[in-house]
Chains A and B, each alone.
Chain A
């Protein structure tokens, strides 16, 4: 607290400091010698201690990607920063520093033990992601508000809390309040929270807690509901028929259609609109159901394919494994025997045979792989064809149903036109007696205007339907492309890795043999 910058030179975390710390804290004795000879990679270090070093700024720690424990206590750090790459951190000690706000911790999702003791923090905040937190020490800080502690309720695993030395501890309700609001807490300020206090606290703050709980429960329920909804929507989206199980499409057709709203005032329109709407909706429902059904079918097809693929690969793996095991069993101890053999010629022939065997093994394995590739190619072709069939049928049927929608729209349009013209005639003859708003009346100045208006409405509707259809078709097509591409990509990757594996294995065998041969003349 009373550090004076003039007298103490602030330090920077640099390579030298890190290297020294790592060496000091790394393996000792024999292993240490070994480590020293080889050098230690920072990414292998799991624990690091950088205390009493007058560090002002956290920096240059990004290399320690696997760090689980970091001690930066007793420095003069003013800001929590540059810790985002240390995602494996479990223990972080930042006590006895000059930190004023909690920040920069959101990436440390595995953090269990956090110490911010003896800093200048006045508010607990910005810790939402630390759901694993078990021990939290924030004593000797500037926390003043008891209400702020309620923030800690969201850490369901928090068992130990240290708040001693904060202004809020002077509040006589302090321990009661904490005990009531953090019911899972076991230790507070290094002391066990006894049952008695907890009971008393619970009674005292019952209402407040109940309210809190209710709020939390509601939030949770809402979240769950939303998630369920989202899940269903995702399911529908995957089937490309989202928002088709209701009047959504119909409503969207009329949403941007100003003319239609005006035309709705015409006599006979409400009825016409109602029947149109019902018919349209029923077609949409049909489309929706069909879409879901087709989706299930596609999924089933894909899963059958993958199942068969897995089976084939498992069989292939089994076969390959057997070949290799046979080979290994045959040649177990061969090299040792050869090494000990007295007759050079005998050894030579043995080795030649072994060499031969290796080549043969390589050939066998490669042949097996070729065969597998052929087999898989065949089934992939089948699969491709079936998927294409499925998608094209789906598209055709969707188009058919969309055509129905269009027919309905056309029909509606004709009816509307008829009504409009009739109305126009009536208005012209001044026989029209019903009250209509002025802007609607404006449409009926002459035939062109009304016909244009009706046509405009019709066009908007058709456009909407077309768009929806296009949307479904594009999505279906792109899905097909993605699925097929993935299958091909996987197969190529598999083939590559297998060939590489075989080569590597053969190389390994050959190398062993070569080592032996190079030894032979020496001996």
Chain B
């Protein structure tokens, strides 16, 4: 490409000269035409280089049963070609990676993988579509000549539609779906995995939200609306006019849409209806699937069985059988009926294997069978009816890492209509980016409208960021647990006092703040769940005075002057409505405070109270505390002004106190915003990722700990090995010269060792005997003493004596048993030691000779 660009540049330069020198132009053109640029082909994977040497034997040879199966298949094919000569050849036993013919049903390997995401069909389909890279069929109108095992496909992470379907089918059957591989025909978009004409599924708005069930309950005593006194005719005319305008508008819109549609329409496909494709059919019944549907393995999308993208079916198979479609596909797949038990519609290959949707054989129908040959075919089948041999493919294995990484190299790009979706594996990007959706304004994807990014495992809990390129507005969404309960942040720039909206998790905040909307002149805060029923606070700021601007050094003094604070409250049912403030406005600049109370039941006007703060000194120099005209009242329901001045005065004092508090609150809000902005900036700069403690791969600390433990274990084991007693060591030391031993010395060594052991054994026996005797003696003594003092004994002493006796007897018996066992085992131990010594590497060579 660069070469081309250079050439073009050159060309431009040359052109200037060319204007001057006319005849050189031709020469140049000639020269230029000689220069040709080849865009290098994208490295194509060479399947012939697949390493087959490591594959097990079942991949390389056919078992007897498989051979039998192939034989049946060949027979089936023969009959089929005979009966339906005009149909395409069946896809029955393609070659596998080792060049061996294998029957397609045995290539399906039902597997259950240990990932919960893969338990449902959509998870499986998404995994397969992400995990493999799509390759078009070598010949778009013929099925491939070979079909590799799913394990090989998984290993190399690429494949054509047949490979995709086989893998997906294996997974789906593994988790219990009634799934089939389908071989048939589809449109170019499906076959080439071309989604540029599809609207991105992420952009499809959920239409459920629009559904609003407005149930007009016509109650018995509902009031009738007041009579409409307008002229019916005029209304009619107006409605007519309105309708006309509407129609015109609609027409225009339709035309516009049509034009766009026309522009977007794909070029006609010359191979329409001939393109071979393979996909997956899931039949209803198992796993609570209510209705049969297709899954396109490339895009992981589900289609109804009547979808227009699928143009026909040749055959379908799963791990137990193979069915050929006998229905007409003139209308695409719209008229197909998937009752695989019906031999009229679906010609099966193996009888006896379980037939889904088995229908009772209808006598009449069978008689009606015009085609005698089909009957005979059936019979032959019955005779030969044999089970499908087990799959020759190894179980599919996908490691956790591979599963997480998903796409090859962990990255995948999908183009949609006016949109581009990029996917990454988690932890691949250092900022935690896992998905990015770019929405374009035009079909050619040049003008970016909006970029949406999804993040995972970020320390700052950022989950999604949306940047609107036109309005320059950035929206960030955070998971619960962010500092100060931040939930979402909408902004244009990170500078303070500019337009921004912050949403919070109000449940986690003490002040119940839900949302804060800000711009240069005002700040609005929304609250929820507060005990003082406050739900709204609006602050108006004035312009900074110039003097304040000079004092930039002290940012606190540079606060914007507050002009007005307005607060709204929900109704507090504990207070009477007339005393429950609904709204209060502190007009700080005008020194006024306005209170509006809640509406009383069935009242349409609310009580109001206005306080006017006046100078504290009247014209005579007396201090004015409170005068009636400082408070303007409108009291609903009662005409007399029953409130005394003293109450109003108290109320005003309280309100002034409140005003001070509010000013402080506003200031605090401002500083909180600054703090959040600071935190955000820091976080954005650091962009750390968190690792779950359950993630054994990435949890560095845990890994280290585990490794340390393992190392420790190993050391322990080593030490134990070392500690295995070396019987000979002391004797060898005695001998001194260990390097070279004579035979005699070796014998001597052995003898010494054995005698020593013998003595030890005897000693042990002696010790036991000694103890035995001691115990018996003591017991006898005690007995004597008892007999002597029997009469003068207290009951307690006697009890103690009896307890001692039984204890002593127990000990004696134990000693006796120990002695007898020792006598028994001692010779055995002696022999064992001798054998061990004979085998000892240091002695064996000498002793062998001796033996």
Min C-beta distance of A290 to chain B, whole Å: 23
Which of A15-23, A80-88, A300-308 lies at the interface with chain B? A300-308
Closest residue to B636 on the A side, CB-wise?
A501
Which of A49-57, A226-234, A316-324 lies at the interface with chain B? A316-324
Chain B residues within an 8 Å CB radius of A376: 223
Tell whether, in the assembled complex, residue B223 and residue A508 are in contact, meaning their CB atoms are under 8 Å apart.
no
Most buried by A among B224, B634, B636, B646: B646
Tell whether, in the assembled complex, residue A494 and residue B605 are in contact, meaning their CB atoms are under 8 Å apart.
no
Q: Verify if B72 is at the interface (C-beta below 8 Å from A).
A: no
Contact of B220 among A40, A308, A371, A494 (CB under 8 A): A308
Binding site secondary structure of chain A: helix
Given the known interface contacts A35-B646, A501-B605, the answer about A321 and B226 at a Cβ–Cβ threshold of 8 Å is no
Min C-beta distance of A44 to chain B, whole Å: 7
Contact of B645 among A34, A44, A308 (CB under 8 A): A34
Tell whether, in the assembled complex, residue A320 and residue B644 are in contact, meaning their CB atoms are under 8 Å apart.
no
Chain B residues within an 8 Å CB radius of A33: 625
Contact of B221 among A305, A313, A315, A502 (CB under 8 A): A305
Q: Verify if B219 is at the interface (C-beta below 8 Å from A).
A: yes
Min C-beta distance of B602 to chain A, whole Å: 6
Q: Verify if A379 is at the interface (C-beta below 8 Å from B).
A: yes
Chain A residues within an 8 Å CB radius of B603: 317, 497-498, 501
CA of A383 to CA of B220, assembled, Å: 9
Binding site secondary structure of chain B: loop
CA of A502 to CA of B626, assembled, Å: 30
Min C-beta distance of A293 to chain B, whole Å: 19
CA of A404 to CA of B222, assembled, Å: 40
Contact of A371 among B219, B226, B626 (CB under 8 A): B226
CA of A44 to CA of B637, assembled, Å: 21
Given the known interface contacts A33-B625, A34-B626, the answer about A382 and B221 at a Cβ–Cβ threshold of 8 Å is yes
Tell whether, in the assembled complex, residue A494 and residue B223 are in contact, meaning their CB atoms are under 8 Å apart.
no
Min C-beta distance of A237 to chain B, whole Å: 27
Chain B residues within an 8 Å CB radius of A211: none
Interface string of B142-177 (1 = CB under 8 A from A): 000000000000000000000000000000000000
**A residues contacting the other copy or chain, number (CB 8 A):** 41
Tell whether, in the assembled complex, residue B644 and residue A31 are in contact, meaning their CB atoms are under 8 Å apart.
no
Chain B residues within an 8 Å CB radius of A383: 221
Tell whether, in the assembled complex, residue B650 and residue A31 are in contact, meaning their CB atoms are under 8 Å apart.
yes
Min C-beta distance of B603 to chain A, whole Å: 6
Chain B residues within an 8 Å CB radius of A494: 602
Min C-beta distance of A82 to chain B, whole Å: 27
Tell whether, in the assembled complex, residue B222 and residue A38 are in contact, meaning their CB atoms are under 8 Å apart.
no
Min C-beta distance of B752 to chain A, whole Å: 75
Q: Verify if A356 is at the interface (C-beta below 8 Å from B).
A: no
Tell whether, in the assembled complex, residue B604 and residue A312 are in contact, meaning their CB atoms are under 8 Å apart.
no
Tell whether, in the assembled complex, residue A304 and residue B219 are in contact, meaning their CB atoms are under 8 Å apart.
yes
Min C-beta distance of A373 to chain B, whole Å: 11
Q: Verify if B231 is at the interface (C-beta below 8 Å from A).
A: no
CA of A33 to CA of B603, assembled, Å: 37
Chain B residues within an 8 Å CB radius of A448: none
Tell whether, in the assembled complex, residue A375 and residue B224 are in contact, meaning their CB atoms are under 8 Å apart.
yes
Closest residue to A375 on the B side, CB-wise?
B223
Chain B residues within an 8 Å CB radius of A31: 625, 646, 649-650
Interface string of B214-233 (1 = CB under 8 A from A): 00000111111010000000
Tell whether, in the assembled complex, residue B625 and residue A379 are in contact, meaning their CB atoms are under 8 Å apart.
no
Q: Verify if A446 is at the interface (C-beta below 8 Å from B).
A: no
Closest residue to B219 on the A side, CB-wise?
A308
Tell whether, in the assembled complex, residue B223 and residue A378 are in contact, meaning their CB atoms are under 8 Å apart.
yes
Tell whether, in the assembled complex, residue B604 and residue A501 are in contact, meaning their CB atoms are under 8 Å apart.
yes
Tell whether, in the assembled complex, residue A308 and residue B223 are in contact, meaning their CB atoms are under 8 Å apart.
yes
Chain A residues within an 8 Å CB radius of B673: none
Q: Verify if A30 is at the interface (C-beta below 8 Å from B).
A: yes
Q: Verify if A505 is at the interface (C-beta below 8 Å from B).
A: yes
Which residues B622-672 have CB closer than 8 A to chain A?
Answer: 623, 625-626, 634, 636-637, 639, 644-646, 649-650
Chain A residues within an 8 Å CB radius of B637: 497, 501
Closest residue to A305 on the B side, CB-wise?
B221
Q: Verify if A365 is at the interface (C-beta below 8 Å from B).
A: yes
**B residues contacting the other copy or chain, number (CB 8 A):** 24
Q: Verify if B517 is at the interface (C-beta below 8 Å from A).
A: no
Tell whether, in the assembled complex, residue A497 and residue B219 are in contact, meaning their CB atoms are under 8 Å apart.
no
Q: Verify if B599 is at the interface (C-beta below 8 Å from A).
A: yes
Chain B residues within an 8 Å CB radius of A321: 599, 604
Contact of B222 among A308, A323, A374 (CB under 8 A): A308
Chain A residues within an 8 Å CB radius of B636: 501, 504-505
Tell whether, in the assembled complex, residue A34 and residue B223 are in contact, meaning their CB atoms are under 8 Å apart.
no
Which residues B770-805 have CB closer than 8 A to chain A?
Answer: none
Closest residue to A39 on the B side, CB-wise?
B644
Contact of B605 among A41, A311, A324, A374 (CB under 8 A): A324
Q: Verify if A346 is at the interface (C-beta below 8 Å from B).
A: no
CA of A501 to CA of B639, assembled, Å: 10
CA of A502 to CA of B602, assembled, Å: 12
Contact of B646 among A34, A307, A505 (CB under 8 A): A34
Min C-beta distance of B563 to chain A, whole Å: 14
CA of A371 to CA of B225, assembled, Å: 9
Given the known interface contacts A324-B604, A365-B604, A494-B602, the answer about A44 and B219 at a Cβ–Cβ threshold of 8 Å is no
Closest residue to A376 on the B side, CB-wise?
B223
Tell whether, in the assembled complex, residue B222 and residue A312 are in contact, meaning their CB atoms are under 8 Å apart.
yes
Tell whether, in the assembled complex, residue B221 and residue A498 are in contact, meaning their CB atoms are under 8 Å apart.
no
Chain B residues within an 8 Å CB radius of A27: 646
Tell whether, in the assembled complex, residue A497 and residue B602 are in contact, meaning their CB atoms are under 8 Å apart.
yes
Min C-beta distance of A434 to chain B, whole Å: 65
Tell whether, in the assembled complex, residue B220 and residue A304 are in contact, meaning their CB atoms are under 8 Å apart.
yes
Which residues A282-338 have CB closer than 8 A to chain B?
Answer: 304-305, 307-309, 311-313, 315, 317, 320-321, 323-324
Min C-beta distance of A74 to chain B, whole Å: 30
CA of A145 to CA of B494, assembled, Å: 79
Interface string of B688-724 (1 = CB under 8 A from A): 0000000000000000000000000000000000000
Interface string of A249-292 (1 = CB under 8 A from B): 00000000000000000000000000000000000000000000
Tell whether, in the assembled complex, residue B625 and residue A30 are in contact, meaning their CB atoms are under 8 Å apart.
yes
Which residues B224-253 have CB closer than 8 A to chain A?
Answer: 224, 226
CA of A31 to CA of B652, assembled, Å: 11
Chain A residues within an 8 Å CB radius of B634: 505, 508
Closest residue to A506 on the B side, CB-wise?
B605
Min C-beta distance of B524 to chain A, whole Å: 19
Chain B residues within an 8 Å CB radius of A502: 604
Min C-beta distance of B636 to chain A, whole Å: 6
Chain A residues within an 8 Å CB radius of B645: 34, 38
Closest residue to B639 on the A side, CB-wise?
A504
CA of A34 to CA of B625, assembled, Å: 7
Interface string of B615-627 (1 = CB under 8 A from A): 0000000010110
Tell whether, in the assembled complex, residue B223 and residue A379 are in contact, meaning their CB atoms are under 8 Å apart.
yes
CA of A33 to CA of B624, assembled, Å: 11
Chain B residues within an 8 Å CB radius of A375: 223-224, 226
CA of A502 to CA of B220, assembled, Å: 30
CA of A321 to CA of B222, assembled, Å: 21
Min C-beta distance of A454 to chain B, whole Å: 53
Which residues A40-86 have CB closer than 8 A to chain B?
Answer: 40-41, 44
Chain B residues within an 8 Å CB radius of A497: 602-603, 637
Interface string of B79-123 (1 = CB under 8 A from A): 000000000000000000000000000000000000000000000
CA of A317 to CA of B577, assembled, Å: 15
Interface string of A188-212 (1 = CB under 8 A from B): 0000000000000000000000000
A-B residue pairs in contact (CB < 8 Å), sample of 22: A34-B645, A34-B649, A304-B220, A304-B221, A308-B223, A309-B221, A311-B219, A320-B604, A321-B599, A323-B604, A374-B226, A375-B223, A375-B224, A375-B226, A379-B222, A382-B221, A498-B602, A498-B604, A501-B637, A504-B605, A504-B639, A505-B605
Known: A305-B221, A321-B599. 11 other contacts (CB 8 A): A31-B625, A31-B649, A38-B646, A315-B223, A321-B604, A375-B223, A378-B223, A383-B221, A501-B604, A504-B636, A508-B634
User: Which 6 pairs from chain A and chain B are nearest by CB?
Assistant: A320-B604, A308-B221, A375-B223, A312-B223, A379-B221, A505-B605
